[in-house]
Structure 1
Amino acid sequence: MRSDQVFALIDCNSFYASCERVFRPDLAKTPIVVLSNNDGCVIARSYDAKPFVKMGAPYFQCRDTLQRHGIVAFSSNYALYGDMSERVMSLIESMVPAAEVYSIDECFADLTGVQGSLTEFGRQVRAKVLKCTGIPVGVGIAPTKTLAKLANHTAKRLQAQTGGVVDICDPFKRDWVLRNTEVKEVWGIGRRMTAHLETMGIRTAMDLAKTDPWTLRQKFSVVVEKTARELAGTPCLELEEAAPPKQEICCSRMFGKRLTELAPIKQAVASYAGRAAEKLRAQGSVCKRMRVSIRTGMFNPDEAKYAKGVLVELPYPTNDTLLLTRAATEAVEQVYRPGYRYSKAEVLLMDLRQPGEFTDDLFAVTQPVACDRLMSVLDAINEKYGRGTMRSASVPRAPDWGMRREMMSRSYTTRIDQLWRVG
């Protein structure tokens, strides 16, 4: 049995585009891009679309380019992507000793103690995920999380040679990867840090691994020091099996069109407050403070600009959708000014804690037990029948201010009326 610590990073390839392809096999060899809210800009690209369009390119600017190269554009379908992510992560968690879901398309796994060839084990994980979900993944295996991330990058970069799985636990293979990887590709090394490191002659991952960690700590930060130590094979980052509760929860959206009247803005803010409350209850937290803000578009020189927010103190720590919605819509009345064309609103829940962590006096008001039961019923109904089935009366079913998603695929896995049809 292997005793040395071993990590794997399992990363979905072009995740959003892969989700779209699962239910559109006719697009298996067609380049795909996925657009941001309101079909604004490109936020995801399949591998074969990357040579023709840059990440973040505005859709209205690259539309002709996409058509010229036969690239199919999809509006973002977060319900589909979220559900497919849960399926992939659940499958991975069933196959490994321990796992940490790092993002919607990435998962760290602890392979310490796994017997036999780790490369073969990685191929088994990859094959099972592809068979059961249709999502291709890459697997990087190494003694530290940073090296596992680097191995995963190599697995995808050299997929034809690696088959999507790279194990660099062997020092010879590890050194080859470090020498052949630019420092900008190292996890946690951003564009600015890359420029600073290059002035010191650090141009590859190997250069960074060989740099004195204490020098990096004094010149930059403890984060860069840990990165260098991890590249050298010393584990500094542990697996976090349970993600800590978020300290803030934000729900922010661009409107599908400019809004000038107060009523539809209040509807939108009520919708965002309800969604934020769902996230709050999902992590078992309550909040005591909330910030509500609205703003106009900031880039059109022909439009008057305005942005303002207000801080709201809640009467008691709460996760009650109705209370949060009422407080948020009342706050909109304080910041709204007529004569502007508003493009966005934001609800930010702050001062989050677990129930019982707030220290109040004996006579302080607390959330009623009946409210807790009501929220449990609300969440159970929405989980069973779909988000928004039960909601605040101030939120319409199909608002005209909703996001523009003219090219959105069906919610194949979360709505019974949109199930995949074959034949």
Structure 2
Amino acid sequence: KLANHIAKTIPDLGGVCDLSDEDERAAWLCRIHVGEVWGIGRASLAKLEAMGVDSIADLRDLDPRPVRKAMTVVGERIIHELRGVCCLPLELMPAQRKGCAVTRSFSSRIEDRATMEQAVSAHATRLGEKLRRGGLGTNHVSVFYHTSEHDRGDPMRSVSTTVTLPEATNDTLALIKAALEGVTRTWREAPGDRPWRYSKAGVITTDLKLLEESQRALIGQLDRERSAPLMAAMDECNRRFGLGAVVPARAGLETKRTWSTKFEMRSPRYTTQISELPTAHA
């Protein structure tokens, strides 16, 4: 970061700064204001200036103990890092995903149960695709849907529930079944003449785990041997022919989903959609 800052602010270097030499690096630390250090904000800068700190070298040479009192452990860590001591280990592998959610606002309000079931089934289908991509599974699915606070005069309602599965899975059919159970638990007809007009729904799951390492159920065990090749075939079709080419019937055909999110203001997808490539005219 120091080399990058110097290369950008000193035109004579031509955009290249090499700080591999220790003496060269130390010389630059004396010339750059401490406020340029990443992690030193306005409040921290005022505290350091009160300690007589002006340059990065001044900060590096401070006693870490008073800095920790003034700037917490973050300030002490900065001092050690300026001295070449690694305080945070390098993560060579990305952390495993802990949760996953698929939520969408509807392009038009949903008033009937059948359409709501189709919407949450489509969300559960997308959730299964995301889980399989990481080899993850879940043993519970939370379903929610609610009306919009911007629909003035309409009755308001917001509900959510969590459905527990017998064991962790990423099978789309099992996730859809759980999502539909969530709708069954929470759906109510409006008491008056005016129906609830729902504006958004979603499915959420947390505490994800690697499917191959998850514990199998003693009772109600899912048929993974049958599910795995079926899900793999569906994912391959969607990769080859486009997202949504093959979906369970409960999720509905994408071209006939009256509730789907509108993308009227979306930027052209030049890198993923051939039909949206710009056309040059002679």
Specify the TM-score bucket, using the shorter chain as the normaliser. Answer: 0.7 to 0.9
CA 1:230–1:330: 2 relative to 1, 3 Å: same
What's the offset of the Cα at 1:302?
4.9
Unaligned runs of 5+ in 1: 1-147
The aligned counterpart of 2:206 is: 350
Residue deviations 1:27-73, cap 9 Å, x none?
xxxxxxxxxxxxxxxxxxxxxxxxxxxxxxxxxxxxxxxxxxxxxxx
SS in 2 for 1:372: helix
Matches for 1:312-327 after TM superposition, within 5 Å? 312-327=163-178
CA 1:363–1:162: 2 relative to 1, 3 Å: farther
SS in 2 for 1:279: helix
- Distance, in Å, in 2 between the alignment partners of 1:205 and 1:330 is 62
Amino acid at match of 1:295: H
- Distance, in Å, in 1 between the alignment partners of 2:107 and 2:16 is 42
What's the offset of the Cα at 1:361?
6.3
CA contact (8 A) 1:317 1:367 kept: no
1:402 aligns to 2:257 (yes or no): no
CA 1:332–1:363: 2 relative to 1, 3 Å: closer
What's the offset of the Cα at 1:246?
0.5
CA 1:166–1:249: 2 relative to 1, 3 Å: farther
Percent identical among aligned pairs is: 30
- Distance, in Å, in 2 between the alignment partners of 1:397 and 1:273 is 14
CA 1:263–1:422: 2 relative to 1, 3 Å: same
The aligned counterpart of 2:138 is: 287
- Distance, in Å, in 1 between the alignment partners of 2:10 and 2:223 is 54
Unaligned runs of 5+ in 2: none
The aligned counterpart of 2:275 is: 417
The aligned counterpart of 1:197 is: 44
- Distance, in Å, in 1 between the alignment partners of 2:49 and 2:223 is 56
CA contact (8 A) 2:30 2:55 kept: no
What's the offset of the Cα at 1:372?
0.5
The aligned counterpart of 1:19 is: none
What's the offset of the Cα at 1:303?
5.0
Amino acid at match of 1:369: E
SS in 1 for 2:103: strand
CA 1:176–1:357: 2 relative to 1, 3 Å: farther
- Distance, in Å, in 2 between the alignment partners of 1:374 and 1:327 is 19
TM-score (norm 1): 0.52
CA contact (8 A) 1:289 1:311 kept: yes
1:253 aligns to 2:110 (yes or no): no
Q: Which has the higher contact order (CA 8 A, sep 6+)?
A: 2
Amino acid at match of 2:145: I
What's the offset of the Cα at 1:232?
5.0
What's the offset of the Cα at 1:235?
2.3
Question: Greater shift after overlay, 207-216 or 365-374?
Answer: 207-216
Match of 2:224 among 356, 368, 371: 368
Residue deviations 1:149-189, cap 9 Å, x none?
x766x4898598887766666344455555352x7xx35x7
What's the offset of the Cα at 1:408?
2.4
SS in 2 for 1:394: helix
- Distance, in Å, in 2 between the alignment partners of 1:225 and 1:199 is 16
Q: How many residues align?
A: 266
- Distance, in Å, in 1 between the alignment partners of 2:148 and 2:61 is 48
Residue deviations 1:282-323, cap 9 Å, x none?
111111112111223346665544322111101221000111
1:238 aligns to 2:95 (yes or no): no
Matches for 1:92-107 after TM superposition, within 5 Å? none
CA 1:219–1:155: 2 relative to 1, 3 Å: closer
Q: Larger Rg: 1 or 2? A: 2
SS in 2 for 1:382: helix
The aligned counterpart of 1:64 is: none
- Distance, in Å, in 2 between the alignment partners of 1:314 and 1:246 is 19
